[in-house]
A and B are shown apart, each in its own frame.
Chain A
Amino acid sequence: MDDQLIIGGKVIRSRLITGSGKYRDDSIIRNVLEAAGCDVITVALRRIDFDRPDESILNYIPEGKILLPNTSGARNAQEAVRIARLAQAMGCGNWIKIEVINDSKYLLPDNSETVIATEILAKEGFVVLPYMCPDLASARRMVDAGAAAVMPLGAPIGSNRGLQTRELLEILIDEIDVPVIVDAGIGCPSHAAMAMEMGADAVLLNTAIAASDDPVSMARAFKLAIEAGRLAFLAGMAGQSRVAVASSPLTGFLES
């Protein structure tokens, strides 16, 4: 079956994008990526702490993966652009997840600053994937500004509460022509399956795998859920009804 996800001109085989944060032991990341079958993995850019130098996360990510650096730490468009340019200078490609956050309690993204950063970076040739609050007008502006995909949140980052924004996600999936990747809030495989059944193009998650007891098994569980959800979406689900609709014939009963 020809069901390809293409982002920034690249064919992405796996509809599961994972983060590389919060692992108790980074050396497990390689096995997680293998179990998840991921093509794309997110990373963050930070100052080196010379008092506690650690290994680069790149040492744990196999060759051939698409790196998706985020601009976490950016509080406005200007800072996001600065981080994106630094990430590009690392020499690991030109994909960028724009993340502009100036709310420390809910970590909700600032859509208007994100639109500005999207426009600047898309013009510079970045493949721009903005993390966003699921708002149709903002998503349209991001697409017009050159976003390669939009990444609306299901629930606040790390909250594991699932698709709390479901109605709004459905509107984006319906109206937006670039891939819609549900990012943040997905806590268990059923949440991911639901996103895919709704027609999302992919999901991005980190905490749900990294903070589980067995990240490798959880990665595989998510892989299966996402494949199942996608297949169900493509198969076209049967309609719902408020009352029962018999599955067995209502004729030919035995006489009482």
Chain B
Amino acid sequence: MNVNIRVNGKVESVNSPKTLYDLLNDKALNPERVVVEVNNSIIKRDQFKEYTLQDGDSLEILRFVGGG
């Protein structure tokens, strides 16, 4: 079964159940180097493995970049 989620503005269909941690792994992202908001709430890093993506979730995945 799949669920539709929105990641940084783009809709994606992902296998369910899938945790946030698994999604980051799929995208080859180091969990230590990103922050994630789901539906405007910050998910703490130690919750990545516990958070199961739900149909309709809207994610913002961010990282630090160069800036002044």
Query: A residues engaging B (CB < 8 A)?
Result: 19-23, 26, 29, 42-50, 53-54, 56-58, 67, 69-70, 72, 85-87, 89-92, 157-158, 184, 204-207
Given A21-B68, A42-B67: A48 touches B62 (CB 8 Å cut-off): yes
Q: A47-B8, A47-B60 are in contact. Are A20 and B35 (CB under 8 A)?
A: no
| Docked pose: A190 CA to B27 CA in angstroms | 46
Tell me whether B45 is interfacial, beta carbon within 8 Å.
Answer: yes
Residue of A43, A49, A50, A54 near B67 (CB, 8 A) is: A43
Q: Kindly list chain A residues whose C-beta atoms are within 8 Å of the C-beta of B61.
A: 47-48
12 pairs from A and B in contact (CB 8 Å cutoff): A20-B67, A22-B66, A45-B65, A47-B8, A47-B9, A47-B60, A54-B65, A56-B65, A86-B37, A87-B64, A90-B35, A90-B64
Q: Give the bracket for the number of chain B residues in contact with chain A.
A: 20 to 34
Q: Closest B-chain residue to A56, C-beta based? A: B33
Partner of B64, one of A19, A29, A69: A69
Interfacial chain B residues near A22, Cβ < 8 Å? 66, 68
Tell me whether B63 and A206 are in contact (CB under 8 A). Answer: no
Pairwise interchain contact A56-B45, C-beta atoms closer than 8 A: no
B42 near A57 with CB under 8 A, answer: no
Given contacts A44-B66, A46-B63, A91-B45, 16 further A-B contacts (CB under 8 A): A19-B67, A20-B68, A26-B66, A42-B68, A43-B66, A47-B60, A48-B61, A50-B7, A50-B10, A56-B64, A56-B65, A57-B64, A70-B68, A89-B45, A90-B34, A90-B35
